[in-house]
Amino acid sequence: MSRPPAAVPNILIVHCHDLGTWLSSYGHQVPSPHLGAFGEESVVFGRCFSTSPLCSPARGALWTGRYPHANGLQGLTHRGWEYHPGERTLPMHLAEAGFRTALIGLQHESRDDARTGFQETDCFTPSRAEEVAERAERWLMSHADDEQPFLLTCGMTEVHRDWPAERYPPQDAEGLDVPAYLPDNPFTREDLGSFASAIAVADRAFGRILSALRRTGLLERTLVIFTTDHGAPFPGAKSTLYDPGVNVALLMRVPPSLAPRPPGMVEDLVSHIDLLPTVLDLLGRPIPDDVHGESFAPLLRGESGRPRRSLLLEKTYHADYDPIRAVRTDRYKYIVNFEQRPLLALPPDLESSPTRRGMGDDHLRPRPAVELYDLHEDPDETVNLAEDGGHVEVRQALHRELFAALEATGDPLLDGPVPPPA
């Protein structure tokens, strides 16, 4: 293990569940003042996407820089999925660079905390935001004078369902915007009010952690990153490859010594798998050849470079087998559904939600085998152009691109149905 020079910054990563982009920084009318203020000091990525619309696969890709079908996490860890042997995570890479690495709160990448790669793990269930913040405050205070740089990761259960009223008193739903993919009725608004309350709890916890970082004098030499695993926990978002299921918040407060880009919104396409190579690039560390992500450190440095042209998205298992693959460009999304399933296959937490009670059964009709959307003309992904004669060339080009990417990264789905874990 090499000892890093004194100028190497610390890294703090705070992540939550099921948030999507539901913050004031992204234009949502939800109470998130602490993250809103943080966003004013940060580079805010408007078009960052998780690789998958469910927890373990999304998180595994974030920490390894590799697609779920390659790293082994094609489904949820509590349903038997695990990293393949030899998978390397961001804390493993940073430990080799001389960092102290610690995890406080939630992880959902392995049933064995040690496999996440952190030197210190303080995992507990449920990882409620307030307790995560309290333990993070203590950790930061105890390491404020250390010369060794650290990676501290804080994971909170919020804003995952359920949202009991005694813990999350519902917000006034009349002031909330109902997204186009949800029916606007009292059931949905009741649900959104509870969701907003959970966001407020997560926001306050983030504020406490950031305040502790500031009090210790560490803020100005710490790269602070906030993100979530995937889209919001509503039908049409979570567990789908539509944008509401995979578009995620990513806010980065970067010390000027690392990258001089001023705060503001960035609309370049970015994937969660890009975070690991970006951090390594910012630190001047080599990026392993088997990492699928692309560093966007040049974007943060204000350097010219080739922007990411497209994103690969995937789902294999959630509550059951539901293999879907997609490629998203700036303008188009092309989706291939490998099995005959309902239009929306709702996981249990969405099936039992108030929103589900008010949405009827239209989502149970069969989904098409192939979907193609023009995201410029149809950002809500409602008009399937897959059989449209004017888009044959677009469809064929995206089909070739998708399957070439799956072939290049060794997707086992190309060999037939993926069996569940033993």
Cβ-based burial of 64 (10 A; exposed 0-12, middle 13-18, buried ≥19): buried
- Our separate counts of H helices and E strands in the chain read 12, 15
- Which helix (DSSP H) or strand (DSSP E) does residue 314 occupy? strand 310-317
pLDDT (0 to 100) of residue 408: 97
- Overall residue count recorded for the chain in this entry: 422
pLDDT (0 to 100) of residue 3: 39
Exposed e or buried b per residue across 111-145, where buried means at least 16 C-beta atoms within 10 angstroms of its C-beta:
eeeebbbbbebbeeeebbbebbbbbbbebbeebee
Q: Is 308 helix (H, G, I), strand (E, B) or coil?
A: coil
Determine the Cα–Cα distance for residues 417 and 133; give it in Å rounded to an integer.
Answer: 42
- Series of mean pLDDT values for 10-residue runs along the chain (422 residues): 61 98 95 96 98 98 98 96 97 98 96 96 96 98 95 98 95 88 96 97 98 96 98 98 98 93 96 98 96 96 87 97 98 98 96 96 96 98 97 98 98 97 88
CA angle 188, 193, 197 (to 5 degrees): 145
- Give yes or no for a contact between 7 and 219, defined as CB atoms under 8 angstroms apart: no
pLDDT (0 to 100) of residue 2: 42
Among candidate residues 142, 79, 77, the one with its CA nearest the CA of residue 108: 77
pLDDT (0 to 100) of residue 307: 85
Among candidate residues 97, 98, 215, 96, the one with its CA nearest the CA of residue 147: 98
Backbone angles phi, psi at 98, to 5 degrees: 95, 15
pLDDT (0 to 100) of residue 306: 77
Dihedral through CA 192, CA 196, CA 197, CA 198, nearest 10? 100
Determine the Cα–Cα distance for residues 22 and 45; give it in Å rounded to an integer.
Answer: 13
**Contacting residues for 312 by C-beta, under 8 A, at least 6 apart:** 51, 67, 271, 325, 326, 327, 402, 405, 406, 409
Q: Residue 341 CB: number of other CB atoms within 10 A?
A: 16
pLDDT (0 to 100) of residue 354: 96
pLDDT (0 to 100) of residue 1: 45
From the centroid of its chain, how far is CA 133? Answer: 20
Q: For each of the domains in the chain, give its residue range(s) and CATH number, in order of start.
A: 10-308 (3.40.720.10), 311-415 (3.30.1120.10)
Determine the Cα–Cα distance for residues 54 and 239; give it in Å rounded to an integer.
Answer: 6
